[in-house]
Chains A and B, each alone.
Chain A
Amino acid sequence: MPRRRDVLKLGTVAGGLGAISSSALARGGVPESGLVFPDGFTPSIFERPSPPATPFKDPLYRMPVARPVNPNTLDPRPDPNRHQRYLDFPPVKFYKEVLREQRWRYHSDPPYNRGSWGYTMNGAMPGPTYHAYYGEAVFVRRVNELPAVGTGKVSFALPSTTMHLHNAHTASESDGIPTDFMNPGEFWDHHYANFPAGFDTREIMSTLWYHDHRLDFTAPNVYAGLSGFYLLFDELDSNNENDPNPNAFRLPSGEYDIPLIFHDVQYTQDGQAVFDFFAAGELPGIQEKEPGDSSIDIPYKGTDNITLFGMLGDKITVNRLIQPRLDVEARKYRFRLLNGGPSRFYDFYLRLERGGQVIDNHPGLKFYVLSNDGNLLPEPIVTEHVEVWVANRFDVIVDFSAFQPGDKVYLVNRMDMRRDGAGPTGRLLDEGELAMRFDVMPALAEDPSRIPDFMRELPEIDLSEVRRERLWVFDYDNGLWTVNGKLMDANRIDAKIEQGTAEIWTIRNAGNSWAHPIHSHFEEFQILEIDGRPVPDGDLKRSRKDIVELGPNQEIRFFGRWRDFFGTHVMHCHNVVHEDHEMMIQWRIVPPGDGD
């Protein structure tokens, strides 16, 4: 993938306007999916598909920005004695986030228009977007007002939750580890100190997200609604495209900085989200027999999205709306792409429709990638596609000034997933699935935003800091997802890391067909090698990461530091169905001399 400066220098932008006939659009419709079935096998998500919903009918949902509350209204008051380094980083903003079960309208067509029961945060799904600033610590009180087990409408999720702030440099007790759950009628306080790891400004992060992390129930709880964005700004990435500071990046901001979270969801004929066939009640599409009928010939309608392997839905939602549309001005936008899971991976491309013709190679169909896992890169990278595994975050700029008013630009997912949800097939879909549409309008004003030449340098990798190396083997064993041959044990600490040291971890996939997005909490790391080869300069993976994209048989080594706090965190597969079935380890930051 070329760096942006090289592209500008060489003028190698793929040129030429070519029209291809797209069967998808020529048919006047949009494919529900490009999935192809081998040998007549029909997966269950097609055996009993979700009800149809008119694509690109509803405008994109823009989550509200979280609004602080007066701390005096918090009863009881925040207690500094419950948090590490609270007084080092006294909160300047206080928030209250209430979790409830409510109906959410995924689409305006029936049956979706009556609403699907799910879990909301302050009435929103996804939850409110936090705008936080380096140097301004934040306090969030989360209150669980979900109905107790058996009294709610969402059957598959557990109304007990712990909210993890993904990629945050946050003390264990505020991190939202799997065992720190709150039950209905309870609250939990989170202190987010918002300082860069090691006070190194090169460790400043941008796009974080929060999501449920409940032990054994993360997949259904996130699927039920519990996810949202937490954005961090600083004086360079300042949330102001008109910033007079000459060093500011002036990335598209305000209306033009749009977080997009992708969840694939499966619905009943009533428009209710279903998780799997563990769900109570009658299975959609399965014919129940009359009472007294003892025959054994009930047709089995497939279980393919209903496994310990993964959960796939047949509707791609963006900010919890099915295939929305967005009016965009002919100018630059910053999109923050986040795969919220549970199990589907995406490979996003852009596609242009102009005057009924589909154009796949227009020079404007490209992403200027700003970040990997939400951490700004040393410099933007230009690419025509972005592969987004579960929990990956990529900030990208799309410059719609390359298009004409009236153009329609589609965000297309071309990743073909194994139908059991355990990973990609390795095939690239030709048509793919259209996740959302951008309708190009004239620009209302001059575009003051910029694509900077340089952003954040990578922190140096100093091997002299390395105290030890560790090997983590992710495997599948007869129905079990294991790490180093073990299942997660909340009472077992798998690594004791000395505070202030660095380690090199090797993450190995012993499976030859599974794929695992492996996430380690607390502090981002840098990949040293993938299958023994260093990451080349200009590669997207030459970046600060919190996810290792572990393909079949792959082995990835990374360098990481553990600083500033003590306590327990986890590393796990972020295919959250694998995580729930115990593909997780715990590590603990301990004082120097206490390590293993």
Chain B
Amino acid sequence: MQSKKPTNNVTSQATAQERVLQSRRRVLAGVSLGAAAGLPALAFGNLPAALVEKRAARVIDRVRNQGFPDTRVTAHTGEVFRFYEDLVRDRVVLINFMSIAREPELPITRSMAGLVGAFGDRIGRDIHAFSISYDAADTPERLARFAARFNAPSGWKFLAATPEDVVALGYRLYRTEGRFRSSMKTDLIHYGNARVGLWGTMSAEISDLDFAVERVSSVFPAAAAPTGKPRRAGPRRIEADGPQIHHRDRPARA
């Protein structure tokens, strides 16, 4: 059915990485497989990598709505939840992965704290925030002390889970097995409206908090669009003051 195409130097490199990827897919599909290499040790505690990957495949088999593995997670408050059914379903959410030990190198919790703070009392009511630790050393007790450092309101939960559950959630949100390599200097914050099915991501390096809030707010459920005369979004007048980040006349309505 297929033939190698010798003349095409752009695409002729079916590579080892592609084969590794296919192997991973076979794990996900529940097909047996030998090698399970390259998983980050951090996530696994003392468990052998191959075992974790096998178990993660079984966790992913439990996929429910919107592809989220409905894993059991323990919050820093000690409460136990099912990740999708109890925490995500029908909500607007912020989700990120983190580890206490890596925070100095990759201060993603600091970014989340900024976002959470900017949403004020809407957190816990209109929007919920979840920070999933990929470090098996981050027990709920340690996470509770960590959350206190950031004055986390009740609508922002730090979550611990078994290594295989964390890996399964990582597959869901990134399509990658682990959560940290030492080369990583940045990461994503996921935001979404689970009732509608709208999901976006942004860089965890937030340099303009107002704009980050506007970005997340774009997935909030909104009233029907006004039927009257349309408003001008932009561009604003050349001489008008405004952020360099865009040419909009004014911030969007949340």
Given contacts A426-B14, A515-B11, 20 further A-B contacts (CB under 8 A): A40-B31, A150-B221, A151-B225, A179-B245, A180-B234, A180-B247, A185-B225, A278-B67, A280-B194, A303-B28, A419-B25, A420-B21, A426-B11, A426-B12, A428-B3, A478-B178, A485-B183, A486-B205, A554-B10, A580-B200
B: number of interface residues (CB 8 Å)? 93
- Asked if A379 is at the interface of the complex by the 8 Å CB criterion, the answer is no
Nearest residue in B to A419 (C-beta to C-beta)? B25
Nearest residue in A to B198 (C-beta to C-beta)? A158
State in angstroms the CA–CA spacing of A177 and B243 once bound together.
14
Shortest Cβ gap from B10 to chain A (Å): 4
B187 CB contacts on chain A under 8 angstroms: 480
A277-B66, A487-B188 as given contacts; A155 in contact with B197, CB under 8 Å: yes
- Asked if A582 is at the interface of the complex by the 8 Å CB criterion, the answer is yes
Ordered by A's residue number, 9 sampled pairs between the chains whose C-beta atoms are within 8 Å are A41-B31, A82-B237, A144-B230, A148-B221, A149-B198, A149-B221, A180-B234, A427-B14, A479-B170
- Tell me whether B8 and A581 are in contact (CB under 8 A): no
A207 CB contacts on chain B under 8 angstroms: none
B237 CB contacts on chain A under 8 angstroms: 79, 81-82
- Asked if B229 is at the interface of the complex by the 8 Å CB criterion, the answer is yes
- Tell me whether A188 and B222 are in contact (CB under 8 A): no
State in angstroms the CA–CA spacing of A179 and B210 once bound together.
13
B149 CB contacts on chain A under 8 angstroms: none
- Asked if A460 is at the interface of the complex by the 8 Å CB criterion, the answer is no
B195 CB contacts on chain A under 8 angstroms: 150, 280
A: number of interface residues (CB 8 Å)? 108
A39-B26, A303-B28, A477-B181 as given contacts; A283 in contact with B67, CB under 8 Å: yes
B62 CB contacts on chain A under 8 angstroms: 296, 298, 300
- Tell me whether B233 and A187 are in contact (CB under 8 A): yes
- Asked if A513 is at the interface of the complex by the 8 Å CB criterion, the answer is yes
State in angstroms the CA–CA spacing of A188 and B234 once bound together.
5
The segment out of A103-111, A357-365, A545-553 that lies at the interface is: A545-553
- Tell me whether A297 and B61 are in contact (CB under 8 A): yes
- Asked if B35 is at the interface of the complex by the 8 Å CB criterion, the answer is no
**CB < 8 Å: which of B197, B205, B215, B239 contacts A281?**
B197
Shortest Cβ gap from B230 to chain A (Å): 5
- Tell me whether A188 and B11 are in contact (CB under 8 A): no
**CB < 8 Å: which of A184, A279, A418, A512 contacts B225?**
A184
Q: Mark B92-106, 1 if CB is under 8 A from A, else 0.
A: 000000000000000
- Tell me whether A158 and B219 are in contact (CB under 8 A): yes
Shortest Cβ gap from B94 to chain A (Å): 13
Nearest residue in B to A286 (C-beta to C-beta)? B63
Nearest residue in A to B210 (C-beta to C-beta)? A491
B28 CB contacts on chain A under 8 angstroms: 300, 302-303
Q: Which secondary structure characterizes the binding site on chain B?
A: loop
- Asked if A425 is at the interface of the complex by the 8 Å CB criterion, the answer is yes
A553 CB contacts on chain B under 8 angstroms: 13
- Tell me whether B235 and A82 are in contact (CB under 8 A): yes
- Asked if B154 is at the interface of the complex by the 8 Å CB criterion, the answer is no
- Tell me whether B10 and A515 are in contact (CB under 8 A): yes
A172-B247, A184-B222, A428-B3 as given contacts; A549 in contact with B10, CB under 8 Å: yes
A155 CB contacts on chain B under 8 angstroms: 196-198
- Find residues 1-36 in chain B having any chain A CB closer than 8 Å to their own CB: 1-5, 8-18, 21-22, 25-26, 28-31
**CB < 8 Å: which of A160, A172, A174, A424 contacts B11?**
A424
- Asked if A84 is at the interface of the complex by the 8 Å CB criterion, the answer is yes
**CB < 8 Å: which of B1, B232, B236 contacts A187?**
B232
- Asked if B151 is at the interface of the complex by the 8 Å CB criterion, the answer is no
**CB < 8 Å: which of B17, B174, B236 contacts A308?**
B174
A81-B237, A187-B233, A479-B175 as given contacts; A148 in contact with B223, CB under 8 Å: yes
- Tell me whether A477 and B184 are in contact (CB under 8 A): yes
B219 CB contacts on chain A under 8 angstroms: 149, 158
Nearest residue in A to B97 (C-beta to C-beta)? A479
A146-B225, A491-B207 as given contacts; A307 in contact with B175, CB under 8 Å: yes
State in angstroms the CA–CA spacing of A217 and B197 once bound together.
13
- Tell me whether B61 and A308 are in contact (CB under 8 A): no
- Tell me whether A430 and B235 are in contact (CB under 8 A): no
Q: Mark A286-316, 1 if CB is under 8 A from B, else 0.
A: 1000000000111110111011110000000
Q: Mark A411-430, 1 if CB is under 8 A from B, else 0.
A: 00001101110011111111
State in angstroms the CA–CA spacing of A426 and B10 once bound together.
8
A75-B229, A174-B235 as given contacts; A300 in contact with B63, CB under 8 Å: yes
State in angstroms the CA–CA spacing of A330 and B176 once bound together.
52
A477 CB contacts on chain B under 8 angstroms: 181, 183-184
Q: Which residues of B approach A to under 8 Å, CB–CB?
A: 1-5, 8-18, 21-22, 25-26, 28-31, 58, 60-67, 170, 173-176, 178-181, 183-188, 192-205, 207-208, 211, 215, 218-226, 229-239, 244-248, 252-253
B25 CB contacts on chain A under 8 angstroms: 41, 304, 419-420
State in angstroms the CA–CA spacing of A216 and B198 once bound together.
11
State in angstroms the CA–CA spacing of A426 and B9 once bound together.
9
- Asked if A58 is at the interface of the complex by the 8 Å CB criterion, the answer is no
- Tell me whether A488 and B222 are in contact (CB under 8 A): no
State in angstroms the CA–CA spacing of A509 and B14 once bound together.
15
- Tell me whether A427 and B2 are in contact (CB under 8 A): yes
- Tell me whether A491 and B208 are in contact (CB under 8 A): yes
State in angstroms the CA–CA spacing of A79 and B235 once bound together.
10
B231 CB contacts on chain A under 8 angstroms: 185-187
- Asked if A76 is at the interface of the complex by the 8 Å CB criterion, the answer is yes
A188-B234, A513-B17, A549-B10 as given contacts; A149 in contact with B196, CB under 8 Å: yes
State in angstroms the CA–CA spacing of A522 and B12 once bound together.
31
Nearest residue in A to B179 (C-beta to C-beta)? A478
Shortest Cβ gap from A147 to chain B (Å): 6
Shortest Cβ gap from B220 to chain A (Å): 7
A187-B230, A487-B186, A580-B201 as given contacts; A513 in contact with B18, CB under 8 Å: yes
Shortest Cβ gap from A298 to chain B (Å): 6
